[in-house]
Amino acid sequence: MKPSLTAIKGTKDILPPETKLWQKAEWLCREVFEAYGYQEIRTPIIEPTELFVKGTGETTDIVTKEMYTFVDKGGRSITLRPEYTPSVVRAIIEHRLYLQASPLRFYYFGPMFRHDRPQKGRYRQFHQVDIEVFGETDPAIDAEIIEMADYLLDRLGVKNKKILVNSVGCSNCRPNYVTLLRAKAEEIKERLCKDCQRRLELNPLRLFDCKEPGCQAITQSLPKIIDYLCRDCLTHFENVRQWLDFYGLSYQIEPRLVRGLDYYTRTTFEIISLELGAQNALLGGGRYDHLMKIYGGPDICGLGFALGLERVLSVAQIKPDKEKLIYFVYLGEKAKKKSLQLCRELRRQGFTTLLEYKDRSLKAQLSRANKLAATWTIILGEDELNQGICQLKEMTSGQQKTVPFDQVGTILRTLEKDEKNK
């Protein structure tokens, strides 16, 4: 029977045991980021709409077509965040974090929302892992976050990946390039898709974001921004490349890589999977040196990247840590009470235990323990109660031993250590 209520199109329930895989991935991300000196920050899912219009860009597809925006009861336009960077910038300015001694290095996890056509590895509610660095102008930090991103994907078990890098210039050199690009693109306008014709009028750089194979082929002949960089931007890009070489990273210069957000300056990069189709970007980011100032904050440069968890997990080769479950099998009310007491004691010692409140036979309870892949079962009946013992059964081997109540935790800890040492 088909349920009357189902998840909204473009959203997905993440169910056990898949949630264990997500937890493992998030744990690995935290471990890597904190090793590089980043701290976790959490901001609201809803923000004022103008936050994204001002920062993300009025001409971007995100703002013009994809945002989930509504008017709240106070009459204010509210948007479910489509990306994270503007929220972090807003928080830094609002709480004056730039006056604190701690480096402005942050990471965060969370859902984002875009009303886009659902794709493989991308949903309307999707999840990102992001990092941000502010106040660092040295090209070495651009290379370091690319190196960190590559290392993180290694830790997540992602194989067959490629690093793409580019520079999108700055406010000194980009305007002249955009003028030239628009003039050249006008010559091929009629061959472009409708979206690209609109992009040409609003922001010609967005032509390179088009995923239509026809447009991608046509725009190959357009001028490349990397050939029109000013001296400072070219020097910065050359230094970034030198630091990437210093790390021994293999990378490819991709002149079409402009990213889909208006605030980027100079360095842009992506890491793509060679195992996916057209939607192959695992993570991407770059530098945004004027975003803080755009929001009325101090003139502090920034850079970072965002990783799409759904897409990365589709190619990741990690497995969640195997949980060691202790399942309690009991017969009778007195045994149930003693089992609950032992459960409580073991949980406080860091063990995972499960006791189910159903009237089942011994055979049925042991069968249940097998279905749940319990590591051990602790069996208690009237005879065990009278002797002050329980039966501890190792489920894989079937070996069983008698253990006094006051030694259960000690024996289990010894068994855990023995297993690790095998």
Q: Say yes or no: 159 and 249 in one domain.
A: yes
pLDDT band at 422 (very low <50, low <70, confident <90, very high): low
- The CA distance from 7 to 14, in Å, is 11
Q: Say yes or no: 275 and 389 in one domain.
A: no
CATH code for position 26: 3.30.930.10
Q: Say yes or no: 78 and 105 in one domain.
A: yes
Q: Which residue has the higher pLDDT, 190 or 241?
A: 241
Q: Say yes or no: 302 and 332 in one domain.
A: no
Which residues are 78's β-sheet partners?
Answer: 48, 70
Give the pLDDT confidence score for residue 61 in this predicted structure. Answer: 59
Average pLDDT, the chain: 90
Q: Say yes or no: 242 and 380 in one domain.
A: no
Q: Say yes or no: 357 and 309 in one domain.
A: no
Q: Is 206:182 a contact under the CB 8 Å cutoff?
A: no
Task: Tell me how crowded residue 311 is: count the other CB atoms within 10 A of its CB.
Answer: 22
Q: Say yes or no: 234 and 351 in one domain.
A: no
Q: Is 168:206 a contact under the CB 8 Å cutoff?
A: no
Question: Residue range 106-130: average pLDDT?
Answer: 86
The answer, yes or no, to whether residue 124 has pLDDT greater than 80, is yes
Secondary structure of residue 223 in the 3-state scheme: coil
In a domain, 108, yes or no: yes
Domain end: 258, 287, 315, which one? 315
Q: Say yes or no: 252 and 384 in one domain.
A: no
Give the pLDDT confidence score for residue 413 in this predicted structure. Answer: 92
Domain end: 315, 344, 360, which one? 315
pLDDT band at 97 (very low <50, low <70, confident <90, very high): very high
In a domain, 3, yes or no: no
pLDDT tens digits, 254-309: 988 887 667 889 999 999 999 887 778 899 999 999 899 989 999 999 999 999 99
Q: Which of 256, 261, 232, 243 minimizes the C-alpha distance to 172?
A: 232
Give the pLDDT confidence score for residue 419 in this predicted structure. Answer: 75
Q: Say yes or no: 302 and 336 in one domain.
A: no
In a domain, 349, yes or no: yes
Amino acid at 245: D
Q: Is 205:166 a contact under the CB 8 Å cutoff?
A: no
Question: Residue range 98-117: average pLDDT?
Answer: 92
Phi/psi at 85 (nearest 5 deg)? -55, -50
Q: Say yes or no: 332 and 362 in one domain.
A: yes
Q: Which helix (H) or strand (E) holds 240?
A: helix 231-246
Domain end: 256, 284, 315, which one? 315
Q: Say yes or no: 291 and 340 in one domain.
A: no
What domain range is 406 assigned to? Answer: 325-412
Q: Is 320:17 a contact under the CB 8 Å cutoff?
A: yes
Q: Say yes or no: 272 and 336 in one domain.
A: no
- Secondary structure (DSSP) of 38-59: -EE----SEEEHHHHHHHH-TT
